[in-house]
Structure 1
Amino acid sequence: MLILNFIVEDMLEYRISDQWTAYKEEDVEKAATVKEIILNDVWWDKVDYIIAFIASIYDMLRVTDTNKPTLHLVYDMWDTMIEKVRATILRHEEKEVNDQSTFYDVVYYILIDRWTKSCTPLHCMAHSLNPRYYIDEWLAEASNWVPPHMGTEIAVERNKCLRKYFPNPDDRKMATKEFARSSGGQDIFGDFDSLQDRWSLEPKVWWLVYGDSTPLHQKVALKLLSQPCSLSCCERNWSTYSFIHSMKRNKMTPKRAEDLVYIHTNLHLLSRKNESYTIGQSKMWDIGGDEWDPLEGAGVLAIANSSFFFFFF
């Protein structure tokens, strides 16, 4: 809602500017329509609803569109995002939790269809290897959540992944037994420290500390828990490469172009450690880049510097 307030203030400020005067004289009918929309509270309520509705979807996409390891979080994020979308729609329609919504049914079908196309056995395998999803703290967040080893859909996709990782039947049988031990809290996985650290430690660290008794599963876990789920970081490098090795600079050798891309990317990362990144005119110059961690004031900064003319037209 804070962002909406900035937009409204920017629009109202534009109405008294010289640009608005010139535009109003040029097209009186359109100017009247614009004025009516700006001052219409019902229209702004609809905008607020749209932003609230898509915020959960955008947040999830923004998290996955990074170079951070998020493969093991995707399955849970999709479920959480769908629940948030449902809650927003029902709240707007003034319905109870168990009530039906025709609009939500349409949205749900679209989201599930998209998830069905993008979901892979790796998502389910990585989800199963996250130790946090087996403890009461996580299960208590929603009444319909179950541990990964008890979900039928996840089990089917996980077994596909195991067959791919371990084509040898003996190795696959051993890996299955190791998964049963880790997910069922047997042996060292049932120790007090192991159970407590499932929530407090990062998943990869937890497997490094407690996974040595299940070497096959530990090896897979360390791979999947370190893997991003998006190729966006690679695509950004390709975009940088195409900018450096352009039609006007086509005599550059591939090795030199790769070195320049390497330098550009690492200078980008190193610049975030400088004090000038958070202060001065060039602060947060790469806002909206690879990081999804909240940057204080970033959203306000982006909106405050926008003009009504740019936003509306």
Structure 2
Amino acid sequence: MYKEAGGTQKKIKEMLSGGDVRKKVEKFIAKFFIYDQIPANAVASPHFKNMTSEVQRGGEGVQPSTPAQIMGKYLDDEHAEMKTYVDSYRQSWEMYGCTVMCDGWTGPTKMSIINFMVYSRGRAVFLKSIDASSKIKDSNYIYKLMHNVMQDVGRRNIVQFVTNNGSAFVKAGKDIQSKYHMYWTPCAAHCIDLMLEGIGDRPSVKTVITDARFITNFVYNHSWLLAAMRERCGGDIMRPGATRFATNYIALSSLLKHKQGLRELFASHDYVEWKKRLTKVIYRIEELVLGNSFWDKVRGVIGIIEPIYVVLRMVDNETNPSMGLLYPSIQLMKEAIMVKAPNAYKWVHAIIDDRWERTLSHPLHQAAYFLNPKYHYSRNLFEDNSLKRVVHEVYDHLFPDCPGKGTFGSEIVKFRDAVGMFGCHPAVKSRNAMMPCEWWSMYGTDCEVLQRLAVRVLAQTVSSSPCERNWSTFSLIHTNKRNRIGYERLQKLVYCHYNMKLRERLLRSEGRRKAQEDPLDLMTVGQHAYAEDAEDDLVYQWVRSDDLDTSDGRPEPHIAAEAETQGIDVDKHVEQQRSPDEAFDPLTRSPEGSPRQSLSRGTRGGETLSDTETESE
């Protein structure tokens, strides 16, 4: 138990016995971690190291802080320090402009929170959160919140608001855009995830995902098989992603990667002996793993989803501004799908085009594409009249009263012809290497009017994902077991915690110059630890138990009764699970055979669909 340290002077013998002292210190530190259930890897935290250093400097007689001091005085001090850090970016917002991101969330304690963050030039900070639990969250309320944040950040500093696609956020964002000289854009990560959702709803794709889950569920719910799989495959075949459809892609890719190990396992003598002990032998699992049809279908689905997943990773990463990359990335994504899935690209393109044209496409994305030196010169974008028109429209909207309007057109011509600094050797060599907004800041000094537009547009992001990642921070601090914490204190804790996480990420990415983390796996603050129901866990769908059914494949009666109380049609669900596999589009041979046909038509089972049929799907 805790013993208060006295102020006695050390004896020479005690000072010379450094090894024993160190062992004793490490022992008591270990006790703290073991009995207070603190993860052992917390010792790598710089804050832990700073704490131990200061304790050493303090010496004997220094008393630990009380809970009231930590959550009162010292929390206030830390909040003030973090606010100073956040305010240090305001000067940068004046030069590069900024994006205000907002998103709503309801936590496990039913507290409704709306987060606001600010992004500029690869740096994101958490600004504030609003407790909207007692409010009607309609467009008028969201508009008032956006307006208040706009006053705080500075109206002239904001280039755009980025929100989710909720109707109240969309209406409020469009109202802001119509009244002030800034834009509203939807979250690109959310829109691209909806593209994946549309593809995942395709029966042929859904069948492959169901079969793949059947394999992982079977393996992960038999201890011997799981251990044997880890030995042959060199580890697990499952890891989470940030969304359900990203998790599906990662799981399918992992299965295909470990195909050889799984086939060797299910063909081994040990497996044959082990399965003799099963009360119910599932021959379907062997048919899937040892046959070729399933793996061909998995390869086909990956060919469709992989290019979309790459773009999702790009827009979901706030380390580098993505505004100048989205428009060309969508084009490259569609071209890659044509190559990887030549017999399925038509219906996939129809889903992508519908979401792009109906929701995601925006003048800011096109203007950023035109102004990005990486693409402007290599693709001769000046010849595209629609892009030139969009650039003028964006300039008029963001800078309606700029005195340099008369030189705007001539400066675009200088940019096209690489006149002056645009054409110097370092500028030409760094078109692909430098961050586009920094390239303009360095080499656009001869065209100050166009430079101001380019820097402010190219320094922005296209996603509100950092707001969504902050949800897990709220969940970490405000759980059902800790729901008595006041909102003011909760906001201070989240403000400090999340801004510190963003600051640490920035330092790591600057040290490496290019972040190594997978942005979709960056949910480092307890992504799965707070689900009230295991069904909410993204990975659970791939590893859940299959032992809840009777020997004839029917659900156990008490489980079926519970499901029916939740409004689930058990009989319909069972019949759907037993339905035969449908033909898989990506693997059927199209009679025409050419992937370069019109994008307005699709295929089903090798048959060309009419425009009407494609639209109805």
TM-score (norm 1): 0.70
1:199 equivalent to 2:199? Answer no
1:9 equivalent to 2:261? Answer yes
Report how far residue 79 of structure 1 moved: 1.0
Larger deviation: 105-114 or 172-181? 172-181
**Partner of residue 295, structure 1:** none
CA distance in 1, matches of 2:463, 2:541: 34
Report how far residue 159 of structure 1 moved: 2.7
CA distance in 1, matches of 2:417, 2:335: 28
Which of 334, 339, 345 is the equivalent residue of 1:87?
A: 339
1:51 equivalent to 2:285? Answer no
The alpha-carbon distance between structure 1 residues 49 and 312, as it changes in their structure 2 partners (threshold 3 A), is farther
Which of 215, 222, 228 is the equivalent residue of 2:448?
A: 215
Which aligned pairs between 1:1-313 and structure 2 lie closer than 5 A? 4-7=256-259, 9-10=261-262, 13=265, 16=271, 24-26=278-280, 28=281, 31-68=282-319, 69-90=321-342, 103-116=344-357, 117-135=359-377, 139=378, 146-168=379-401, 171-246=404-479, 248-254=482-488, 256-267=490-501, 270=504, 288-289=521-522, 310=543
Higher relative contact order (CA 8 A, sep 6+): 1
CA distance in 2, matches of 1:241, 1:309: 26
In 2, are the aligned partners of 1:73 and 1:127 still within 8 Å (CA)? yes
> Gapped runs of 5+ residues in structure 1?
91-100, 140-145, 275-283, 292-305
CA distance in 2, matches of 1:228, 1:175: 24
In 2, are the aligned partners of 1:66 and 1:290 still within 8 Å (CA)? no
The alpha-carbon distance between structure 1 residues 153 and 105, as it changes in their structure 2 partners (threshold 3 A), is farther
CA distance in 2, matches of 1:126, 1:78: 14
The alpha-carbon distance between structure 1 residues 6 and 237, as it changes in their structure 2 partners (threshold 3 A), is same
Secondary structure at the aligned position of 1:58 is classed as helix
In 1, are the aligned partners of 2:325 and 2:369 still within 8 Å (CA)? yes
Report how far residue 126 of structure 1 moved: 1.2
CA distance in 2, matches of 1:17, 1:269: 53
**More helix, by proportion:** 1
Q: Deviations over 1:128-183 (max 9, x none)?
A: 22111133xxx3xxxxxx33322233233323212211223754443333233223
Report how far residue 235 of structure 1 moved: 1.6
The alpha-carbon distance between structure 1 residues 179 and 246, as it changes in their structure 2 partners (threshold 3 A), is farther
The alpha-carbon distance between structure 1 residues 7 and 312, as it changes in their structure 2 partners (threshold 3 A), is farther
1:235 partner amino acid: E
Secondary structure at the aligned position of 2:449 is classed as helix
1:226 partner amino acid: A
Q: Post-superposition, which runs of at least 4 consecutive aligned residues in structure 1 deviate over 4 A?
A: 17-22, 271-274, 284-287, 306-309
Secondary structure at the aligned position of 2:356 is classed as helix
Report how far residue 311 of structure 1 moved: 8.4
CA distance in 1, matches of 2:456, 2:497: 27
1:128 partner amino acid: F
Q: Deviations over 1:242-287 (max 9, x none)?
A: 542456435424365234343245247638989xxxxxxxxx8997
| Alpha-carbon RMSD | 3.7
Report how far residue 222 of structure 1 moved: 2.1
1:83 partner amino acid: E
> Gapped runs of 5+ residues in structure 2?
1-252, 509-516, 525-538, 547-617
CA distance in 2, matches of 1:230, 1:151: 26
In 1, are the aligned partners of 2:263 and 2:289 still within 8 Å (CA)? yes
**Partner of residue 298, structure 1:** none
Q: Deviations over 1:40-80 (max 9, x none)?
A: 11221111121122111111111111213111111111111
1:25 partner amino acid: T
In 1, are the aligned partners of 2:263 and 2:290 still within 8 Å (CA)? no
In 1, are the aligned partners of 2:303 and 2:341 still within 8 Å (CA)? no
Report how far residue 208 of structure 1 moved: 1.8
CA distance in 2, matches of 1:289, 1:234: 13
**Between the two proteins, what is the percent identity of the paired residues?**
23
CA distance in 2, matches of 1:312, 1:77: 39
Larger radius of gyration: 2
Report how far residue 3 of structure 1 moved: 5.2
**Partner of residue 97, structure 1:** none
